[in-house]
Amino acid sequence: MNCTKCGQQIDDPQAKFCPKCGNNLQGTADNKATSTFCRNCGKQLVGKPDICMNCGAKPLAGNSYCPACGSATNALAVICIKCGASLVSTNHTAVNAPVGQKSKLAAALLGIFLGGFGIHRFYLGYVGLGIVQIIVTIITFGFGALWGFIEGILILTGTFNKDAKGLLIKGD
């Protein structure tokens, strides 16, 4: 039999999970595809849609529900504790991006109120850009502060969402 998710050949007919991707093999009659659930809202998906018709997100974009059984999961979990399905992608990287320790709200407020001095950039670890923002603000007699103000708004909206290490900024 072959795994319906990744196509891996499985020699053990009693196997419950695919050894390659962790797909739940139980409850599949004649190796037909199992139901999948949206990782964002947990609702059952019909077919293989590009977006979930319930929440509008990409079905595998979330991290709150198991794609195999639809039960709620811990955002940092690697397997579903209810059904044992793998919650990592097939290239063995976690579906959830690592989150840093920098606060989104703090970075946004620093950008809005002290952005001309590049304080939000220093806070997020972008020292070079922080220095550039100070220089631009001085050369433009303060008008360069608009750059930092705009970045503060972008941080708040989630458009600017990573620190210098590439980690996501922690939402408050």
Residue 148, pLDDT score: 95
Q: Is pLDDT above 50 for 1?
A: yes
Mean pLDDT, the chain, whole residue set: 82
28 and 107 housed in the same domain = no
Residue 27, pLDDT score: 52
Residue 170, pLDDT score: 87
| Residue 96 Cα to chain centre, angstroms | 5
Higher pLDDT, 11 or 163: 163
20 and 82 housed in the same domain = yes
Number of H helices, E strands in the chain: 4, 4
Residue 34, pLDDT score: 52
Element (H, E) at 44: strand 44-45
R_g (Cα) of the chain, nearest Å: 22
Q: Is pLDDT above 90 for 108?
A: yes
pLDDT in tens, 135-160: 999 999 999 999 999 999 999 998 99
Q: What mean pLDDT do residues 124-138 have?
A: 95
Which residues span the domain enclosing 1? 1-95
4 and 82 housed in the same domain = yes
Contact 158, 114 (CB under 8 A): no
pLDDT in tens, 28-84: 443 334 568 888 888 888 777 888 888 888 777 778 888 888 888 887 788 888 888
90 and 103 housed in the same domain = no
Q: Where is mean pLDDT largest: 18-22, 141-145, 167-171?
A: 141-145
Residue 89, pLDDT score: 59
Which of 75, 95, 115 is the C-terminal boundary of a domain?
95
**Residue 15: CB atoms within 10 Å:** 13
Which of 95, 130, 145 is the C-terminal boundary of a domain?
95
Q: What mean pLDDT do residues 7-32 have?
A: 66
Which of 71, 95, 119 is the C-terminal boundary of a domain?
95
Beta strands in 58-134 (DSSP E): 99-103
* Phi, psi angles (nearest 5°) of residue 128: -60, -45
